[in-house]
Structure 1
Amino acid sequence: MGNLKQIVVLALAVLSRTESIAARLPLSGRLLHPRYINDSFLVKNEYDYVIVGGGTAGLTVADRLSEDGSATVLVIENGPLPDSAAVTEVRGGFGGFSSPYFYRIQSVPQPELHNASYPVLVGKAVGGSSAVNAMMTVRGTSEDYDRWGQLFRGGGSGRASPWGWDGLLPYFKKAVTFTEPGPEVRDAVDIEYDASYWGNTSTVYAGWPSFQYPGLAPQIKAFRDMPGVEFPPDSGAGRAGVYWFPTFMDPRKVQRSYARTGHYDGINRTSYDLIYNAKVTNVSIDEDLTANGVVFQMPVKNATKLAFVKAKKEVILAAGAVHTPQLLQLSGVGPKTLLDKAGIETLVDLPGVGENFQDHPMLGIAIMLRNFTVHPSPMDLMTNRNFSKWAQEVWDKNRTGPYSIAMGNVAAWLGMPVISPERHESIASKLEEQDHAAYLPPDTHPTVLAGYQAQMNALATSIRSSNTAFYSLSISGGNMPAGSSVLLHPLSRGSVRLNTSAPTTSEPVVDYRALSNPLDLEILAEFVRFTRAYHYNTSLAEYDPYEMLPGPEVTSDEDIAAYIRRSLSPSEYHPSGTAAMLPRALGGVVDEQLKVYGVRGLRVIDASVMPTLPGANTCQTVYAVAEKAADLIKADA
């Protein structure tokens, strides 16, 4: 009788605990068990798929794998489940850009940037970086993705590769539903688009503001005065040039559309669970080198508790280009020399894990058009009380007007023959003639060096092509058309490595190695010259341009280089490449099925698999990679 009483008490305690947790969930989540979980007690012992990371890629794949109910999926996210209103506000494009939703990581000092350290901003929330980014819905050119296939084919054609442009375009279409701009704003500034490059079945939306600044028209027109600049029919056409692009925005609500709203909110399936504020410490890999689950921890008062969940089919890493390599290393998959220093047993010696780190550097170039008096303008929103009052009123009334703009919708994405018709050939030749080993750390593994050499040979060809965009300049419509230019294909490579002195308790050690390849400095100098030509040698000259940064006195190669070293940010918050999809002989970490070399049942599906950066913001490409990954995984089921 005593034993029975104890069993009843225990059962009542469990029921009470379960009900108290379920009571904190919305009614839509109270089905057979809670869809999202804030205690490891409610996690089932096993799932078909365990996905590490509830960001752009992780939520997309979780949705796709669980949609027909035949497979069970658990997503484990280290960040919070934020109040959606905190991240969905459109105004300015940075509604979620606040510290609770970012990891707090600083890079190591950068020797070529006066030993400055820089923040490493990656999203830490359900929705990941898609919850905090600038909402720019842009994809790279066809050559960017064909290059991925070439690296598996010895530099040959990448068009037939499953990861070339032709192989990825269907997934770009599947990933995002395109909505056309309204006729009033479209006709007012001549927005050009071609909906045939887009899809209409996704619950992630690409929409348009209900307002555009009229000053955009003359600023776009000025690019027609620059030799070689093209105007593609659509931002999704896979062509470099000057074009309009939409915003990750739900046009019905005029709110950010991101991985959470598209692949989590409103989905009620007993086959799809998510646990948040839970940190995965390592992937469990058995003696047969098969991933069989993950170990994770959750905060409990002033301590943490560890739990294990089994993956019956696969463990899928979607923790991003900073934390995916760290997790692989903590799990015994990575460079043996690094793991030995950290006291971690090497299960698979994979030298490329954490290497090949890339991001998009940004350089401030500010030139004011002193006589540019096209109103209203972005400056009027800050200085004209009547205009700002009107903007607030129309936003409050029906979510229209200037506050429906995120970061803007038009930019130049241009190749080196356009940017530097006189010097691009010299830069390409220098890249081909380099001793590539001289621009990587001296202890670089031969396979990683081989991969770098293959990338540099491919990029030398790309420097000669007008259809690989190296330069990006966003246009504002105000009297300062642009504030910074972006290097879309940096030649320098960094690393993300676990902290060997405290591997399990510290964030990884991130080194951009900015400007470690000196040709990046030469390319950026050409950006300064081109941006000046755009303002001074086109129809914009009639508006009396005045250069604020770098300044009219900065003219010599030496002075421009000194300005770049003082002013460059090594990151546009697009970390990529650290678990590269490359042949193992080229330092690769995953194959073309996104399977980790040497480990069964383990894939990577996030931006870390990109062997080279696309010449665009990375979010739309991550969605396409995730959509394709879901099909690859289902084909193996």
Structure 2
Amino acid sequence: MNLGSILGDQMIMNQLIKFFSRISKDYMNKKKVIIIGGGTAGIVIANRLQEKFAVTVIEKSEYKAYPLLYRVPLMIGILFRRKNSEYIHKTEFDLANGRKIPFYQSNLLGGASVMNGAVHVFGFLSKWIPILKQFEFEVSDLNESHELLYSENKVVKNKITIKKAPLNYIDNSFLETLKSRGIALDNMSVSEKEACGPIFNTVRTFFRTSVLSVLGKKKFKTILNEKVERILFDENGYTKGVKTNRSTYNSDFVILSAGVMGSCSLLLQQQLDPNSLITDPKIGKEIQDHTNLRVNVFANHPLNSLNEVYASFWKKMILGIKHFLGIPTVMRGTGATSAAYLDLDKDGEIDTRIQILQFSESGRHGSKGSVFNTSEPSFSISINAIHPLSKGYVSFQDGKLKVDPKFLSTESDVTLLKLAIKYCIELLKSAPIRDHVKEIDQLDLMEKDPDKYIQDTMYSGHHLIGGLQNSITSDFELKNCKGLYVCDASVFDRFVASNIHSSVVLLADMFAKKFINKQG
């Protein structure tokens, strides 16, 4: 080896040392942020903060990803229907009539966004405005975040891609019947008036997109399979880090983004300590969830519903081949394809969303023990009362976490669902959709005793919000706790959309931008 080669190698080594030294120095000079929860909110916040802060995300879930097959939007249903799945945790809510209904939580990095965030709804601007005002945002901030994070162009990188669901003749008949009742076609993502049309899914050509899709060059640190047990404070009452079931981590700021159940339970547990700085009786109060209700329909001819497809190997094969050839099919979504926004109580505000599902089932996600309730040609109409008034709580009872949204504890919520059932029955008896209907399942019960039908068949919408909305400042800082912030579904005091995925994503990004402006 000659002298020139040695000197050249030495110069390269010196440059590398300087490069890594700059990176190390830059990292050490950054303030440290710990984000508790690597779900829908946490990943969005980490993505925004990582340029200005040394960010660590601590996520209790075990897995970084699931098999590629389940990234096909429709295939996620297989995980829900398994009795035991390492990728999903199942808990149960107790209803007032003694029924227990399932509630599913992700065991994956990315949380609900990668598990079930397939329907995109921007929501109602009229409902967003009070939220924006509460946190000192402008409508321009909301629009900026939406433009930054979402795209209808499947080739754009580092964005959540949204696509319209493909429609079949059941959808077209559904929309034509609505049109005959004065409901016009419009955008199902943003409509503020009675309207109908195809739904939007978070999907590219083959696979779903999620908050993980917004990540470009990932700079933040991720710690999986660790549960934060306590938030630590210094002698002056400032947040200084967290203690997990495995270690202790120091930081300048802590951001709590573990969702309604995770965020509320952590603060409630710590509040049990008589020396705790967290002493807010409002924590865990006024949580809400959408009630999920279905009207199942047996069709009078084959229509390639998921009930039929599931019962036939060849139909499964054909559907899969079409999907992976890039042909738009029901596999691009969750089985929901077209929808309508309705003002059923005629007070001038949209209160209900109904949508066509390309299947019928007994219990949401087959939770009554079967995947579908029949192999006959079937579809259903899903009912979602968008702005429920019923509110419940998260608490600890006998050392155990108790989550009770108090479904339908307000009479007006029950009344609205009864109006929705009546509307759907009338719709199914009207042309042209009636030409596809052989029988409406449990029609006699729905007409004679809709209250019983609702109580016997309703399930969770998996859209928990609230619990911490009254415990934070306009900067999202927990009151009386310096350096501890909360941003996830728990800070919403109302539903701004019929699906909360994009609501959480957008608020998380606006919070992160505000945090940088205040602390960066």
Q: Please, what TM-score do these two structures have when normalized by structure 1?
A: 0.68
Q: Please, what TM-score do these two structures have when normalized by structure 2?
A: 0.82
How far, CA to CA, are the matches of 2:269 and 2:308 in structure 1?
52
| 1:359/1:274 CA distance change after superposition, 3 Å | same
Q: Which residue of 2 aligns with 1:367?
A: 297
Q: Does structure 1 residue 351 correspond to structure 2 residue 281?
A: yes
Contact residue 577 and residue 607 of structure 1 kept, 8 A: yes
1:81-480 aligned at under 5 Å gives the runs 81-85=63-67, 87-94=70-77, 97=80, 99-107=85-93, 109-111=94-96, 114-133=97-116, 135-148=118-131, 152=134, 162=136, 167-179=141-153, 202-207=158-163, 212-227=167-182, 229-233=183-187, 235-237=189-191, 239-251=193-205, 254-263=206-215, 267-269=217-219, 272-298=220-246, 307-312=247-252, 314-332=253-271, 339=272, 343-370=273-300, 375=303, 377-378=305-306, 381-382=309-310, 387-396=315-324, 398-402=325-329, 404-408=331-335, 410-416=337-343, 419-421=344-346, 464-466=347-349, 468-476=350-358, 480=378
How far, CA to CA, are the matches of 1:79 and 1:32 in structure 2?
32
Equivalent of 1:555, from 441, 447, 451? 447
SS at match of 2:49: helix
Cα shift at 1:530: 0.8
Q: Does structure 1 residue 521 correspond to structure 2 residue 414?
A: yes
| 1:595/1:538 CA distance change after superposition, 3 Å | farther
Cα shift at 1:346: 4.3
The Cα RMSD (Å) is: 3.1
How far, CA to CA, are the matches of 2:319 and 2:230 in structure 1?
50
Cα shift at 1:591: 2.5
What letter is aligned with 2:95?
Q
| 1:143/1:315 CA distance change after superposition, 3 Å | same
Equivalent of 2:427, from 531, 534, 547? 534
SS at match of 1:629: helix
| More displaced stretch, 130-139 vs 319-328 | 130-139
Equivalent of 1:602, from 480, 484, 496? 484
SS at match of 2:32: strand
Cα shift at 1:319: 0.4
How far, CA to CA, are the matches of 1:519 and 1:237 in structure 2?
23
Q: Which residue of 2 aligns with 1:443?
A: none
Aligned residues: 476
Cα shift at 1:73: 0.3
What letter is aligned with 2:152?
F
SS at match of 2:467: coil
Contact residue 214 and residue 376 of structure 1 kept, 8 A: no
Contact residue 46 and residue 310 of structure 1 kept, 8 A: no
Provide, for residues 348-371 of structure 1, a one-character-per-residue CA deviation record: whole Å limited to 9, x for no partner. Answer: 43222111111111122123343x
SS at match of 2:217: coil
Provide, for residues 598-617 of structure 1, a one-character-per-residue CA deviation record: whole Å limited to 9, x for no partner. Answer: 11111111111111122321
How far, CA to CA, are the matches of 2:264 and 2:348 in structure 1?
32
Cα shift at 1:541: 3.0
Cα shift at 1:143: 2.0
- Higher strand proportion, which one? 2
Cα shift at 1:475: 4.5
Contact residue 72 and residue 332 of structure 2 kept, 8 A: no
Cα shift at 1:410: 3.7
| 1:134/1:381 CA distance change after superposition, 3 Å | farther
How far, CA to CA, are the matches of 1:221 and 1:92 in structure 2?
29
| 1:175/1:57 CA distance change after superposition, 3 Å | same
Cα shift at 1:125: 1.8
How far, CA to CA, are the matches of 1:563 and 1:234 in structure 2?
28
Provide, for residues 444-475 of structure 1, a one-character-per-residue CA deviation record: whole Å limited to 9, x for no partner. Answer: xxxxxxxxxxxxxxxxxxxx223x33333335
| 1:286/1:411 CA distance change after superposition, 3 Å | farther
| 1:277/1:232 CA distance change after superposition, 3 Å | same
Equivalent of 2:458, from 568, 572, 581? 568
Cα shift at 1:62: 0.7
SS at match of 1:284: strand
| 1:237/1:553 CA distance change after superposition, 3 Å | closer
SS at match of 2:424: helix
Contact residue 171 and residue 628 of structure 1 kept, 8 A: yes
Cα shift at 1:95: 6.2
What letter is aligned with 1:600?
K
| 1:100/1:614 CA distance change after superposition, 3 Å | farther
What letter is aligned with 2:210?
Y
Equivalent of 2:58, from 64, 68, 76? 76
Contact residue 47 and residue 310 of structure 1 kept, 8 A: no
- State percent identity of aligned pairs: 18
How far, CA to CA, are the matches of 1:80 and 1:377 in structure 2?
35
What letter is aligned with 2:421?
V
How far, CA to CA, are the matches of 1:56 and 1:75 in structure 2?
12
What letter is aligned with 2:444?
P
How far, CA to CA, are the matches of 1:420 and 1:261 in structure 2?
39
How far, CA to CA, are the matches of 1:322 and 1:378 in structure 2?
32
| 1:577/1:524 CA distance change after superposition, 3 Å | same
How far, CA to CA, are the matches of 1:497 and 1:175 in structure 2?
34
How far, CA to CA, are the matches of 1:277 and 1:318 in structure 2?
16
Provide, for residues 111-169 of structure 1, a one-character-per-residue CA deviation record: whole Å limited to 9, x for no partner. Answer: 2xx2122223222321111121151112221222124357x5xxxxxxxx745755423
SS at match of 2:118: coil
Q: Does structure 1 residue 628 correspond to structure 2 residue 517?
A: no
| 1:148/1:532 CA distance change after superposition, 3 Å | same
Q: Which residue of 1 aligns with 2:10?
A: none
| 1:177/1:491 CA distance change after superposition, 3 Å | same
Provide, for residues 480-529 of structure 1, a one-character-per-residue CA deviation record: whole Å limited to 9, x for no partner. Answer: 44243122222111111234x43xxx5x2111212221222111111111
Cα shift at 1:386: 5.4
Cα shift at 1:89: 2.6
How far, CA to CA, are the matches of 1:48 and 1:627 in structure 2?
19
| More displaced stretch, 626-635 vs 518-527 | 518-527
| 1:225/1:476 CA distance change after superposition, 3 Å | farther
Contact residue 65 and residue 109 of structure 2 kept, 8 A: no
Q: Which residue of 2 aligns with 1:428?
A: none
